[in-house]
Chains A and B, each alone.
Chain A
Amino acid sequence: MATPLTPILTAHWDDPDSFTIDGYSRHGGYDALPKALAMEPDAVIGLVKDTGLRGRGGAGFPTGLKWSFVPQNDGKPHYLVVNADESEPGACKDMPLLMANPHALVEGIIITCYAIRARHAFIYVRGEVPHAIRRVAAAVREAYQAGHIGTNIHGSGFDLDVVVHSGAGAYICGEETALLDSLEGRRGQPRLKPPFPAVAGLYASPTVVNNVETISNIPYIIRNGVDWFRQFGTEKSPGFKLFSVSGHVRNPGVYEAPLGITMRELIDYAGGMREGSELKFWVPGGSSVPMLTAEHLDLPMTYEAMAEAGTMLGTATPMVFDQTVSVVKTVTRWLEFYKHESCGKCTPCREGTSWMTGLLETFEAGHGQESDLQIIDDICHQIAGRSFCALGDAAATPFPGAMKYFRDEFVAGTHTSADDAFNPVASTVLAGASTR
């Protein structure tokens, strides 16, 4: 039997006021807050630990465990920083969530801050998405007016301030320590770890950095409990997930389903491949994870199954490409992105992305040297594991992943350009059915 879709975070996005406090409260919104405030903070952490919820920003670290690393009774202020810097190529689930259901995040923030004993939270939203910023900032203001945020929240003695902060265009700020530097008014460059943010984060104080979707899960968990949450997904990948499916499917969009759904099922829900289209490759969770092919369509979309297949679930935001697409062009463009976004702090990433891009561009143009394929692979190995942060590892990912399945296309790049091999118009939305 097919895995059913499970609209939870997305359940009421078709209400015209789903982004307002009235729209949210109509369906049980802010019911979790008094329930959480009646619990001991450590019990809230324990409950989230028991759900097995894993971070939805890409790394999949257990959320409750992360919270438990914050030292208590240390006399320092604690902070929650929500990472809303969604910029991973392929990922488009946090911005829709902020636009359609920002109060789930706000309620989640209040509960999380209560649990980790923070009285100050920041929502760091990438700057290029003003409408998402408006919606979440309006939600924060409404929550203040309703007394859900502020001093002595609902008589609990718990105080909280929430600030919405606009970024200014830098993919690297999605890396948690670069985000913290950026939030402190500096260049967004990653910090050496340890110390980890849970010990020395924002303003050198204990800080939890969590993704938008992760925190938005919290009210639903508090409201419905551990067993309810664990009925979805698998033992190691419990819960439900926003999958943004993009590319050559008939109905690209946001699909909410339990972890463990297969890509075949997701493509089916998305109306199948577009007319005349055949799947060539797909990427399960953003450009920073290795690509897969049709032979992987029946694997469960879980952290563990994707790792076993040699890739990662990442942000669980699959991109689907059909036979009209040049793998060489796709990978080259991704590398141009990593080169552009490398912060320049460490040499392997700064220099390596630049060299790889230059070499890949020769293959895209149809005059690559076959021996350079080995050099590009060597550069990947020099970057991966030797960079300051995960951006370097990510940059070293697309090329080896593509070579595994499409080496011939790179070899063809020694004599034929990507545009000659693949008519660039055929892959466009306007072209509709393929001409090849």
Chain B
Amino acid sequence: MEIDDTTRDEVRAIIARYPETRSALLPLLHLVQSVEGSVTPDGIEFVAEQLELTPAEVASVATFYTMYKRHRTGRHHIGVCTNSLCALLGGDVVWKSLSDELGIGHDETTADGEFSIERIECQAACTHAPSVTIDWEYFDDATPASVSEVIAKLRAGEPVQSTRGPVIRDFRATEHTLAVTDDGLAGEGPSADHRMLAGLTAAKERGMALQDTAAPASSEGEN
């Protein structure tokens, strides 16, 4: 595994965030995954050296968490939520269509190394069901057609925008973001989309008052 100076600086910065060094383990696993596309034996050894742990200790943690991949991951990772609500609202249909189109199953990667697909659990996007993620960025209210279109665009190298976030980069770039938590993209996407705003919109349509005024509290309780 090639570790360049930038990555070494990032390792030091991540470890310095914590009062006890072992706390840096999860972020460092994201970091090595961003370098190699998966958590390899080399990656495990590297992290173990940085934190003065044994490779076995690091491996026992790496194998516990589903986001750490132990085999090659495609340039793009596509997740389809098939937990009950999303499955019923269309996630099962989206999953089948995606799996058929790419000719691969759960946790598999296309032969050209472009796509890995995964049946994922609840993404905290139930209001946007069925929820799909592209390199873990939200791709809300998915349909078989919308996912198929994204695949074609990514293959053609055309930009694909997350429904609530930045333009899709690739799986490794997201892993890097998770490790360092800063990638300059926080300003991308809306503050909130129409579903996040559903309550505020309904309140405004009905002329209900905003309640967080910095002025002295009103005593007009409704309850």
**Given A170-B64, A232-B223, A429-B129: A14 and B200 within 8 A (CB)?**
yes
CA distance A89 to B92 in the complex (A): 16
- CB-contact partner of B186 in A137, A254, A325, A428, under 8 A: A137
Interfacial chain A residues near B198, Cβ < 8 Å: 245, 251-255, 270
The answer, yes or no, to whether A133 is at the interface (CB within 8 Å) is yes
Interface residues of A in 1-46 (CB under 8 A from B): 1, 3-20, 23, 27-28, 31
Chain A CB count within 10 A is highest, among B85, B177, B190, B213, for B85
**Given A253-B196, A334-B83: A87 and B122 within 8 A (CB)?**
yes
Mask of B184-213 contacts with A, CB within 8 angstroms, 1/0: 011111111011111111110010101111
Chain B min CB distance to A275 (Å): 15
B192 to A13, Cβ gap below 8 A? Answer: yes
The answer, yes or no, to whether A120 is at the interface (CB within 8 Å) is yes
Interface residues of A in 229-286 (CB under 8 A from B): 231-234, 240, 243-248, 251-258, 260, 269-270
CA distance A169 to B221 in the complex (A): 42
Interfacial chain A residues near B61, Cβ < 8 Å: 185-187
Chain B residue nearest in CB terms to A189: B64
- CB-contact partner of B124 in A95, A186, A223, A340, under 8 A: A95
CA distance A290 to B89 in the complex (A): 21
The stretch of B24-32, B107-115, B147-155 in contact with A is B24-32
Interfacial chain B residues near A325, Cβ < 8 Å: 88
**Given A126-B124, A164-B181, A171-B121: A429 and B141 within 8 A (CB)?**
yes
Interfacial chain B residues near A430, Cβ < 8 Å: 90, 93, 143
Chain B CB count within 10 A is highest, among A20, A183, A185, for A185
Interface residues of B in 123-137 (CB under 8 A from A): 123-130, 133, 136-137
CA distance A338 to B184 in the complex (A): 36
CA distance A135 to B22 in the complex (A): 25
B124 to A91, Cβ gap below 8 A? Answer: yes
Interfacial chain B residues near A187, Cβ < 8 Å: 60-61, 64
Query: How many chain B residues touch A (Cβ–Cβ < 8 Å)?
Result: 91
The answer, yes or no, to whether A203 is at the interface (CB within 8 Å) is yes
Interface residues of B in 150-170 (CB under 8 A from A): 162, 164-166
B84 to A27, Cβ gap below 8 A? Answer: no
B84 to A245, Cβ gap below 8 A? Answer: no
A16 to B90, Cβ gap below 8 A? Answer: no
**Given A128-B67, A128-B136, A163-B18: A246 and B127 within 8 A (CB)?**
yes
B65 to A5, Cβ gap below 8 A? Answer: no
Interface size class of A (residues with CB under 8 A): 35 or more
Interfacial chain B residues near A23, Cβ < 8 Å: 191
Interface residues of A in 41-58 (CB under 8 A from B): none
CA distance A253 to B195 in the complex (A): 4
B191 to A100, Cβ gap below 8 A? Answer: yes
A234 to B202, Cβ gap below 8 A? Answer: no
The answer, yes or no, to whether B104 is at the interface (CB within 8 Å) is no
Interfacial chain B residues near A270, Cβ < 8 Å: 198, 202
A5 to B202, Cβ gap below 8 A? Answer: yes
Mask of A156-188 contacts with B, CB within 8 angstroms, 1/0: 000000011111111100000000001111111
Chain B CB count within 10 A is highest, among A11, A171, A429, for A429
Interface residues of A in 125-152 (CB under 8 A from B): 126-131, 133-135, 137-138, 141
A254 to B196, Cβ gap below 8 A? Answer: yes
The answer, yes or no, to whether A427 is at the interface (CB within 8 Å) is yes
A11 to B125, Cβ gap below 8 A? Answer: no
Interface residues of A in 66-88 (CB under 8 A from B): 77, 86-88
B60 to A333, Cβ gap below 8 A? Answer: no
Chain A min CB distance to B131 (Å): 9
B211 to A260, Cβ gap below 8 A? Answer: no
A182 to B192, Cβ gap below 8 A? Answer: no
16 residue pairs from A and B, CB less than 8 Å apart: A4-B208, A77-B19, A89-B122, A126-B124, A129-B123, A131-B162, A165-B23, A182-B26, A220-B212, A247-B85, A253-B199, A254-B195, A254-B197, A258-B222, A341-B121, A429-B89
Q: A16-B190, A166-B27 given; name 11 further pairs at CB < 8 Å.
A: A4-B203, A31-B214, A87-B122, A100-B196, A131-B162, A170-B65, A186-B61, A231-B219, A246-B126, A251-B202, A329-B84
10 closest cross-chain pairs (CB), A and B: A253-B198, A28-B214, A185-B25, A231-B221, A228-B217, A255-B199, A168-B65, A138-B186, A169-B67, A185-B22
